[in-house]
Structure 1
Amino acid sequence: MYRGALKSILSELVRQDRLIVVETFSVEAPKTKLLAQKLKDMALEDVLIITGELDENLFLAARNLHKVDVRDATGIDPVSLIAFDKSRNDC
């Protein structure tokens, strides 16, 4: 049932154009300013970043941004997926 809910939510996010999948997404240093600029360049404000494995620089850079959260793939849940305007998935 849990997997079914995640599949359904992910399908709906794709239909609504709220899911973006990229090959890699990282920041060179744990600086909030670097991540904020990268998200601004991509026109993203309210975003959940899902990574295959937790990137410490990305996590540290995002912790001071109000509408940005970073989770590894095992840490996602249905509530967090629908809470953000966009979900960025780093394969």
Structure 2
Amino acid sequence: MKPAFRPALLLALLLAGCAAEPPIDPTKTSYFVDVEYTIGTDGKSSNAKVIKTDAPKQLQEEAIHEVNRYRAEPGVQPAKARRTIEFAVEPGSSPQ
């Protein structure tokens, strides 16, 4: 899967900040979020949770949101799935 580059989202996350979470590291060029979730019989995703990550909380939340928007083919029974979402960061894009 190609990393998602969303400069407007990244800038908004950088400007928002969160005291309890570390800021986005301006020297990093990418982050990843491994998400586990359930695909229901209707094809909708649910019960998404972060399994492993090096991303700040804001990007983790964006990954969960991305997984919750995902729709698969309907099935006979629910199935577990796992997806790695990568965020590409343009070097030097953080405000000083």
The TM-score, its normalising length taken from structure 1, stands at 0.25
The TM-score, its normalising length taken from structure 2, stands at 0.24
Higher percent of residues as helix = 1
